[in-house]
Chain A
């Protein structure tokens, strides 16, 4: 008999024990290890997927930020360009205005300088005329300029027209010692000439007057009497003014006549 039933029973028992042993020492540990590794791999894959998703998100955010930054840069550049253009226009306008103002100021200064130069030329001319006249009179006529000026003033007084004389006479009527008429001269008049002028005035007007003599260098070799708004004067300045009011042709004619 090939089948030993005791052995069969023993082998069944052995096989059941072997099944338990294999489950205990082989299948369960191996399956646990595989499951743990799969779990690890799944976790790693999930982590990688999360990382990838995060990277994609960051990439997207970065792209959006880049676009926004580019847009902002373009806007700022445009704004800066506009501001620069506006500032340039403003500065150009200001420069133009400043140039116009400077040009006007320069023109004004030039005009002022011209006027000052003219005045200085007039003053120096007057002074030169005064000096020349003084010298000519002193050298040739043995007469001082002051004396000649007093003479000319007295002569102008004698030759004054009726209207001027009447108004002057009316103004000099109210003079007194406390309210004398003012006679200004560019130089100190000697007492003789003061007396001569006062005498000529009193003779011409016909009553005594009170005079106060005052020296004013600005008159430049002139004598001037002023009272209550009336003035009678002669000076080199008036003389030059009279000369300058004559047209050049009149000067030429006058020179030609004198030459003839």
Chain B
């Protein structure tokens, strides 16, 4: 079954190539081809989920092929519980992004679909790659098509947003490349084995300063993607200007790659440096939570509001990751999934709303619940999930993160909880201004059609499932979380209290 990992990456890639070369001016064919490919992807991912046992130690699936042996670069893919769930999320959101764009993308469908599938290949590659150079290749691979998705199909200020997105992320990732090379040569000098293999690099001896610099190189790349305060400023622009499908991919998946990078690479590769850095990272996380929430309070543009709320939620993820305990890590991982589902659903709903109203400004909306009850009900469900309503997706993750943080520092947990309070305020206020109150115009509104209901129902089921019965997901997170906790040197030497 291991070869299926390569299929997951190369199927969308070859599909993208095929569509780009043959799909000129054949919109209907392109749409269905892209949808078919992404559905096949989803079924492969579901199949992998079905046959994998959550209790097995280490990696569920591994693919290892030499690529550039003279430099120790391999084609090394591995899937553990965390990557499995994130791949599942990716394969779910891409068909949704295609369905969302069914009507709203009016020109150049072939290029659009090709870029979307290429992005998918890059994201799945990022979640699977365990060779650092391969990881970097996929990291860049998802960036370029995303740039064009924003830059070619976005809204008014799309070029500005696309440049900003690209330059921020590429600067971060190039610094990571330097850190990767640094780690490679240090490991090579110590052991005589020059390799980019993740498993071999895990146990590199790094002196204090070197380790810290290398860790920072990785951290910058991931922090830009997450995004952490103060390098978050690309996100509101990119999310707002991107087409709906782009926003779904950005918020649902690209932000997760940053958090995934922290979990997979930053902590296990540089445990000592990460412990020293944990207080700063948590401080950045809490600043992000509060700053994102405060800015979300004052937004007029509804997509921008959700974008700032993403900064706030991802602050929780970072928060949870750096607590480095069972609850915090589980919470962070679960919140990644929950945020992916909830926020993409929000962006999808808002995209549908925007198609109908022609505006993203809250001040131009109002009273839309009664003419469009189905859309209003769906938006309510996702809004409640985003603000952490018990029984819905985000609650479990946020609760676990706070429980984890509380063990480390009560005051930080209280500060984080303030973020949840603020999220209730801005989200409910948003809902009130958009959906309730006086109707601003006496246009004839069309409620959701079957395609749109299908999209939102799929996402609603996911959100409810994550909220009501997260156990099947948490089972798979057990092994990865334990692995990360075991990499904590403070715990291994029995000085856990000193760390706390």
A binds B: no
Residue numbers of B with Cβ under 8 A of A are none
